[in-house]
Structure 1
Amino acid sequence: MAQESIGVRIGLLYDLQASWLEPRFARHGLSFTTFQLLAAVQSAGKSASQVEIARRLGISAATLSEAVFALVKKGWIQQSASATDRRVKVLSLTTPATKALKAALKEVDQFEVLVQRALSEADINRLAKLMDAVAKEVEQE
């Protein structure tokens, strides 16, 4: 198998996942990109600086600022100054955002069930290890 086909397959699976999840997220008032932003804020914990979230998402701080502004206006994200550095903006989820994210994560679980139906348990374990190895290698670059 040609090496470039791995990247194409990863991209295809990402696109399929996004197109499967997007209408399900919409039921909870989320787009796929909003889900990614909320999930990044939640996973960063209490020290979710805006710069750190932009880095995690692989986007510019300016691009993130626009999304954050919209979600603050919607009442889903709170933006406050860091206790240690007033110039740093810290993000946190509001209760409505947390509820929407929780509902969206149930949809992600359903996608996981769909994916796993195509594989044996041994294949799932092998694939998980391979994907972890690839992620580790890419993160080191």
Structure 2
Amino acid sequence: MEILIKTFNELSLEELYQVLQLRSEVFVVEQNCVYQDIDGKDQKALHILGTKAGKVVAYTRCFDKGFYFDEAAIGRVVVKEFERKNAYGHLILKASILAIEERFETNNIKLSAQQYLTDFYENHGFMQVGEGYLEDGIPHIAMIK
């Protein structure tokens, strides 16, 4: 998998289309969750794309500290279903952490994790903080690195 790091304006139309398609495929269809994915925040995000044969198969969006939380943030962590066996989730998260450290000059990162993935994020140095909560009908918990 090749990692690409781009601002919103650097994304090609095809890349943007593939990102939105992947997010919809997983978060809306697979997880059966009706919510507004296109939220006006993509323009301020740093987009981390994992591509394979020219197709986006993994993705996150990252924000500088003070935009989403007081800390830098990682969100919309997603891997195409048939590619999950390849550990691309670990690769895209590592690339996202590194991008935040290099671009935003911080290693203080927060994310809103779906609760069933807490072990995954803990393997990357994140710790659960606070109480769990429902976000779009799915149990989540805040995590900080």
User: Could you tell me the TM-score, scaled by structure 1's length?
Assistant: 0.30
TM-score normalised by L of structure 2: 0.29
Structure with bigger RCO (C-alpha 8 Å, 6+ apart): 1
Q: Of Structure 1 and Structure 2, which has the larger fraction of its residues in helix?
A: 1
Structure 1 or 2: more strand by fraction: 2
